[in-house]
Amino acid sequence: MTQQANNATLEKPSVFAMASQQFNSAADRLGLDDGIRAVLGSCKREFTVNFPVKMDSGATQVFTGHRVQHNVFRGPAKGGLRYHPDVTLDEVKALAMWMTWKCAITNIPYGGGKGGVTCNPKLMSRAELERLTRRFATEISPLIGTVSDIPAPDVNTDGQIMAWIMDTISMHSGYTQHGIVTGKPISIGGTLGRTEATGRGVMLMAREAAKERGLPLEGARVVVQGYGNVGYWGVYLLEQLGCKIIAASDSRGAIYVEQGLEPESLLSHKTDNGSVLDYPGSQTITDAELLEMPCEILIPAALEQQITEENAPRIDTQIIVEGANGPTTPEADDIFQDRGVIVIPDILANAGGVVVSYFEWVQDIQHLFWDKSDVDNRLESIITRSFDEVLSTAKEHDVNLRTAALMVGVERVANALNIRGVYP
């Protein structure tokens, strides 16, 4: 990473401060006392490791990784692992906090956790990634476990990464631990429906919000920032409902297709060429132009703090469905509320992944696996129920959906704390 990139990272606003601001807004609405607020506003464990990895060149490189458990009052910590050059402890803490609320909103028995390694996996070979993953899994092994803390895929990690973690921990323990991670390949204890789960949740949220707004999905224009797993499945499933996908982006650039693009074709193009750029019939645009493209549904599915008070006034959409974690700042939220734009917050919009991760964990523990229709139907039931509960809270308290979702999640965790009490 260049010095300029390092400086940009240092100057980036604190993501944890943003998450804390959101939490405090909900805590104010709920009237939480100072003691509960102090407990829920802090992370239970913050674990940072610096570990060596032997590179293909024979050189040894030291990497920094983190695993944070924000809260475990409602169950084991649950949350993904990301590999990215900009991973920081501040970011991981925020993501862990959001996972706590996400699990509580969907009412599954998990607390919030998150982890990551500061690296650029796109510049690493498969062998280097495996060595990094196995060493990182060993370093954080005191924390993770089937009944204590269950990692999952996130940015730049996938089922293969999870398989290496599962195998590493299993080798340490002397027996196979299927439930140590979720998002695994089906052949080693993964679940049907997991790959598209987060994107399916995004689709369901967009569908429910469109019903609430009275917006027909047939012909509705959709823009997606971030054409990874979440972005692809979200727009693929929305296209099946009649939507028209007009713009998409990845880390290398953005494209616009006025007549609408075909999601599967774009994915094949990206797989073959390493980017969505130069997709046949497309026009190259900037990422800023993509976010401000007139559309009915905008899906930010990239990284944090993409929509701010600077660009929010120019964003021309009716519904924002946050496929990414933390893409919208509190200041931008206020602007959208004034403008009447529906923002379905990350802790609700992208909860499909953790819900199906929970399904996978349950199946691993029981050694009994479900049909894909069972997974999809159970997911739809939980996601739509959660949307209805959050929408009802928003209307009752005259707040936006983010504040309402936080109120639902924070109140459930606070209730768990009150019932369990403070030890000793």
Q: Which residues are catalytic?
A: 114
Tokens of 365: 């523990």
H or E element that contains 285: strand 283-285
Residue 277 CB burial class (10 angstroms; 0-12, 13-18, ≥19): middle
Record the tokens describing residue 344, joined without a space.
Answer: 């379905």
**Per DSSP, what are the bridge partners of residue 221?**
244
Cis upstream peptide for 13 (omega within 30°): no
Strand 342-344 vs strand 149-153: parallel, antiparallel, or unpaired?
Answer: unpaired
Tokens (6 digits) for 267: 């994915």
Is residue 259 within a helix (H) or strand (E), and if so which, with residue range?
strand 253-261
Residue 406 corresponds to which amino acid? L
261: which 2 tokens? Answer: 């693009």
d(CA 138, CA 153): 17
Alpha carbon distance 64, 70 (integer Å): 19
Q: Which residues contact 203 (CB under 8 A, 6 or more apart)?
A: 233, 234, 237, 238, 241
User: Order of strands across the sheet with 221-225?
Assistant: 283-285, 253-261, 244-250, 221-225, 297-300, 319-321, 342-344
CA 376 to chain CA mean position, Å: 19
